[in-house]
Structure 1
Amino acid sequence: MANPLPVYRGRLAPSPTGLLHLGHAKTFWTAQARAQAAGGHLLLRNDDLDAGRCRPEFVAAMTEDLAWLGLHWVEPMITQSHRRSLYRAALVQLHAGGFIYPCTRSRRDVLAAISAPHDTDETDEPVFPPEFRPAAPTPRPPLTDPVTTNWRFRVPDGEELIFTDGRRGEQRASAGRDFGDFLVWRKDDLPSYQLACVVDDAALNITEVVRGEDLSQSTFRQLLIYRALNYRAPAFYHCPLLTDERGVRLAKRHDALALRTLRAAGHTAADLRANW
């Protein structure tokens, strides 16, 4: 008898650094629609690792807004700040495998080296200059606890990475050209988004990641981590981004388009969905 297909498991993964807006709503609604179409379910993950920006009131607002929108998930909510030991174990594994190296270069150093403006969008990680990378045979210092320096993943220069996006089809990128060595652990002793996301999605048996297309480039980085940790990668579906009247993608600074602002103005969840 053939093994049954895996049960669809998706996730909603908001970060409580501000109020959810229309862009979040559309992406999360798409995630629910895809889970329902596949006969599966969603988990809710609270991406609260950025202690300096995350606030408890945004966690409460987040769950309230998601429920108002009509989204359903399997309880309990997963909280990233409670899962640090899992991320640390993955870091140790990457270190043992020789995939990472310590790095003292700042974002400002990187931007200066590639002659990029310093006000570049923080979500777009600049390509790390290869001249900043230590020689491959250089001995790696041991990991400290707490970690006090940045650790970067050494990408396989020239390797073409491919994945099939559920909406946009085949996607390709060349390591070292389209993206460079990237952070997996920060000097303030926190895992990067790339590492924490991979560890959680693997540990929670997520079968498809639905997120905004601004994170499409992150998928290539994450595929390298999946391979290094010997994890099975999920499928990926990247949603088109909503923009404001000037064509700028929505962000949490767009308070006028926050879900609770729209709700207070008398809009219903059905009103919002009608415009998608």
Structure 2
Amino acid sequence: MKPSYIGRLAPSPTGLLHLGHARTFWAAQERARAAGGELLLRNDDLDTARCRPEFVTAMVEDMRWFGLTWAGPMLTQSTRLLLYRAALARLHVAGCIYPCARSRRDVLAAAGAPHEGDEADEPVYPPQFRPPADASLPSLTDPVAINWRFRVPDGETLTFTDGHFGAQHAVAGREFGDFLVWRKDDVPSYQLACVVDDDAMGITEVVRGADLMKSTFRQLLLYRALGLTAPGFYHCPLVTDEKGVRLAKRHDALALRTLREQGRIPGQLRVDWK
């Protein structure tokens, strides 16, 4: 019988996992246990320039050392490109996307493209760069050799209730703009791959860091455009270093592998977590 709660762990093997990852993954495990559900493991390895096999091995070993468990075999995104391409085709037929030859530098340099200092997030795409809504749409090529963007409904307020932070809202076209769904190197964006996989895996709640809150609004639009039911969302507060900077994979001192080699005990690392 399928459990009523299915969560997931979805690390990306672009470096060693750190204590921030562990705290988010532990929250995911605790929520699954409390609901009598299960966790699945997904290897988000679409960043071919940075993903390395040794990081896949390390992330599995380090998560098991930390006390994380999951059901079934690991799902690997790079083996699922046909599923993502099928979703792209559906968006294309629906007229939800358009080709984009503009670079990130173009977008950042354009007037009316606020970025608000958030380097981890996409800048707001300038409306003057998007083609008219009634412009003819070129066919998808194989392989894809140009970026494709999702056209957001300007001015629409999107809302959802976060399991940790409560009611959330964002205005499309103001707080986030047209976003990438497929890259010119013929790889799906995080937004599209995440939606397709979370739906295919039957995920009922996505537990992840608060830095991905804005991505949730983009993904809600993709769920709607693809006719899929969105899961619940629970965004965890970010873990910061002694200077208040959120942890990144460059924080080697707080990498799980480093802590493990130092003889640290996972239970002791979790003692102050709430």
Normalising by structure 2, what TM-score?
0.96
**How far off its partner does 1:271 sit?**
1.4
Residue of structure 1 in register with 2:160 after alignment: 163
Q: What is the identity, as a one-letter code, of the residue corresponding to 2:186? A: D
Name structure 2 gaps, 5 residues minimum.
none
Quick check: 2:149–2:182 contact (8 Å CA) kept in 1? yes
- Trace 1:137-156 onto structure 2 (pairs within 5 A): 137-156=134-153
- Trace 1:216-227 onto structure 2 (pairs within 5 A): 216-227=213-224
- Residues 38-97 of structure 1, C-alpha deviations (whole Å, 9 max, x = no match): 000000000001111000000000000110011110121000000000000000000000
Alignment of 1:182 with 2:179, yes or no, is: yes
CA RMSD of aligned residues (A): 1.7
Match of 2:60 among 58, 63, 70: 63
**How far off its partner does 1:123 sit?**
2.0
Q: What is the identity, as a one-letter code, of the residue corresponding to 1:51? A: T
**How far off its partner does 1:124 sit?**
1.1
- Residues 207-256 of structure 1, C-alpha deviations (whole Å, 9 max, x = no match): 00000000000000000000000000000000000001111100001011
SS of the residue corresponding to residue 131 of structure 1 reads: helix
Residue of structure 2 in register with 1:113 after alignment: 110
After TM superposition, the structure 1 stretch with the greater mean CA deviation from structure 2, 259-268 or 202-211, is 259-268
Number of equivalenced pairs: 273
Residue of structure 2 in register with 1:234 after alignment: 231
Alignment of 1:93 with 2:95, yes or no, is: no
SS of the residue corresponding to residue 229 of structure 2 reads: coil
Alignment partners' CA distance in 1, 2:17 and 2:113: 30
Q: What is the identity, as a one-letter code, of the residue corresponding to 2:99? A: P
Alignment partners' CA distance in 2, 1:6 and 1:105: 44
Quick check: 2:3–2:38 contact (8 Å CA) kept in 1? no
Name structure 1 gaps, 5 residues minimum.
none
Share of identical aligned residues, percent? 73
Alignment partners' CA distance in 2, 1:55 and 1:5: 33
Match of 1:203 among 200, 204, 214: 200
**How far off its partner does 1:116 sit?**
7.4
SS of the residue corresponding to residue 134 of structure 1 reads: coil
**How far off its partner does 1:275 sit?**
3.0
Match of 1:37 among 30, 34, 39: 34
Residue of structure 2 in register with 1:250 after alignment: 247
SS of the residue corresponding to residue 151 of structure 1 reads: strand
Change (3 A) 1:5 1:157: farther
Residue of structure 1 in register with 2:20 after alignment: 23
**How far off its partner does 1:117 sit?**
9.8
Alignment partners' CA distance in 2, 1:112 and 1:205: 40
Alignment partners' CA distance in 2, 1:100 and 1:148: 15
Change (3 A) 1:173 1:72: same
